[in-house]
Amino acid sequence: ALYTCLVEHFATEEEGGYFSEVRDAHPEYDQRLDRLEAQHAELLQQLESVSARAVDDVMPQVRGDVGHLLDALRGHEAAERGLVQDAALRDLGTPD
């Protein structure tokens, strides 16, 4: 269920999502956007790995892995918010 939610969430950000809007308005953010999009695949891979290990490994190790994954997700979302805020502030400072 979490995997599906993340796939859907990431899809709203990627091609055709708000990343596209930021990329069109602010090409100077291309590298940051590319890095964030690459993290989507990495985070999904981490989740798959943790899920697979949860079946075979002892719970303390799995708990630690889940904690690292959650920290990575929080950091990723904070970076996305920062990017959008930077872009919005630039837009506010630009006369139409």
pLDDT at 94 over 90: no
Using alpha carbons, select from 57, 51, 20 the residue that is nearest to residue 37.
20
Query: Model confidence at 95, in pLDDT bands (50, 70, 90)?
Result: low
Angle between helices 30-56 and 2-13 (to 10 degrees): 170
Cβ atoms of 36 and 19 closer than 8 Å: yes
pTM for the full predicted model = 0.82
Q: What is the pLDDT of residues 35-47, one digit of tens each?
A: 999 999 999 999 9
Give pLDDT, residue 68.
93
Q: What is the pLDDT of residues 47-90, one digit of tens each?
A: 999 888 877 666 777 888 899 999 999 999 999 999 999 998 88
